[in-house]
Chain A
Amino acid sequence: MADPLPAERGEAEAIKAIPVRHPGRWVAAAIILVLVAQFVHWVVTDSALQWGVVGHYLFNSQIVTGVGNTIKLTIIAMVMGAVLGIGLAVMRLSKNPIVSGVAWVYIWFFRGTPVLVQLIFWFNLPSVLRSVSLGIPFGPSWFRTDPKDLITQLIAVCLGLGLNEAAYMAEIARAGILSVDEGQVEAASALGMTRLQAMRRIVLPQAMRVIIPPTGNETISMLKTTSLAVFVAYNELLGAATNVYSRTYQIIPLLLTASIWYLFMTSILTIGQYYLERHYARGALRELPLTPLQKLRMFGLRNAGGAARL
Chain B
Amino acid sequence: MSAAGPSGSTPPMVQAQGVHKHFGRLEVLKGIDLEVAPRDVFCLIGPSGSGKSTFLRCINHLEKISAGRLSVDGELVGYRQQGDKLYELRDREVCQKRQEIGMVFQHFNLFPHMTALGNVMAAPIRVKKEAKGVVHERAARLLDRVGLHDKADCYPAQLSGGQQQRVAIARALAMEPKLMLFDEPTSALDPELVGEVLDVMRDLAAEGMTMIVVTHEMGFAREVGDALVFMDEGVVVEAGTPRDVITNPQHERTKGFLSKVL
Q: Do A and B bind each other?
A: yes
Interface residues of A (CB under 8 A from B): 181, 183-184, 186-195, 197, 201-202, 205-206, 280, 282-286
Supposing A190-B98, A197-B127 touch, asked if A283 and B62 sit within 8 A by C-beta, the answer is: no
State A186–B103 Cα separation when bound (angstroms). Answer: 10
Query: Which partner residue on chain A sits nearest B123 by CB separation?
Result: A191
- B156 / chain A contacts, CB cutoff of 8 Å: 283
Partner of B92, one of A194, A283, A284, A286: A194
Partner of B111, one of A184, A189, A285: A184
Evaluate contact between B62 and A190: CB separation under 8 angstroms.
yes
State A188–B112 Cα separation when bound (angstroms). Answer: 12
Evaluate contact between A194 and B91: CB separation under 8 angstroms.
yes
Task: Give chain B interface residues in 87-136, CB to chain A under 8 Å.
Answer: 91-92, 95-96, 98-99, 101-103, 105, 107, 109-114, 122-123, 126-128
- A197 / chain B contacts, CB cutoff of 8 Å: 126-127
Supposing A186-B62, A283-B157 touch, asked if A192 and B111 sit within 8 A by C-beta, the answer is: no
- B103 / chain A contacts, CB cutoff of 8 Å: 187, 190
Evaluate contact between B158 and A286: CB separation under 8 angstroms.
yes
Q: Of B98, B112, B155, B158, which is in contact with the most chain A CB atoms at under 10 Å from its CB?
A: B112
- A193 / chain B contacts, CB cutoff of 8 Å: 95, 123, 126-127
0 or 1 for each of B161-202: is its CB under 8 Å from A? (1 = yes):
000000000011001000000000000000000000000000
Partner of A194, one of B95, B112, B158, B175: B95
Query: Which partner residue on chain A sits nearest B127 by CB separation?
Result: A192
Evaluate contact between A206 and B112: CB separation under 8 angstroms.
yes
Count class of interface residues, chain B:
20 to 34
B60 contacts chain A at the CB level, 8 A cutoff: yes
State A103–B126 Cα separation when bound (angstroms). Answer: 30
Evaluate contact between A201 and B109: CB separation under 8 angstroms.
no
Q: How many Å from the CB of A282 to the closest CB on chain B?
A: 6
State A205–B126 Cα separation when bound (angstroms). Answer: 15
Evaluate contact between B123 and A192: CB separation under 8 angstroms.
yes
Supposing A192-B99, A194-B92 touch, asked if A202 and B111 sit within 8 A by C-beta, the answer is: yes
Evaluate contact between A283 and B98: CB separation under 8 angstroms.
no
- B107 / chain A contacts, CB cutoff of 8 Å: 183
Task: Give chain B interface residues in 58-91, CB to chain A under 8 Å.
Answer: 60, 62, 91
- B158 / chain A contacts, CB cutoff of 8 Å: 286
Q: How many Å from the CB of A207 to the closest CB on chain B?
A: 10
- B128 / chain A contacts, CB cutoff of 8 Å: 192
Taking A190-B60, A286-B158 as given, write out 11 further A-B residue pairs in contact, using a Cβ cutoff of 8 Å, ordered by the A residue number: A184-B109, A187-B103, A190-B98, A190-B103, A192-B123, A193-B127, A197-B127, A206-B112, A283-B113, A283-B155, A283-B156
Evaluate contact between B113 and A282: CB separation under 8 angstroms.
yes
Q: How many Å from the CB of A294 to the closest CB on chain B?
A: 19
A-B contact pairs, 16 of them (CB 8 A): A186-B105, A187-B105, A190-B60, A190-B172, A191-B98, A191-B171, A191-B172, A192-B96, A192-B98, A192-B123, A193-B95, A197-B127, A206-B113, A280-B113, A282-B113, A283-B113
Query: Which partner residue on chain A sits nearest B157 by CB separation?
Result: A286
State A206–B112 Cα separation when bound (angstroms). Answer: 8
- B155 / chain A contacts, CB cutoff of 8 Å: 282-283
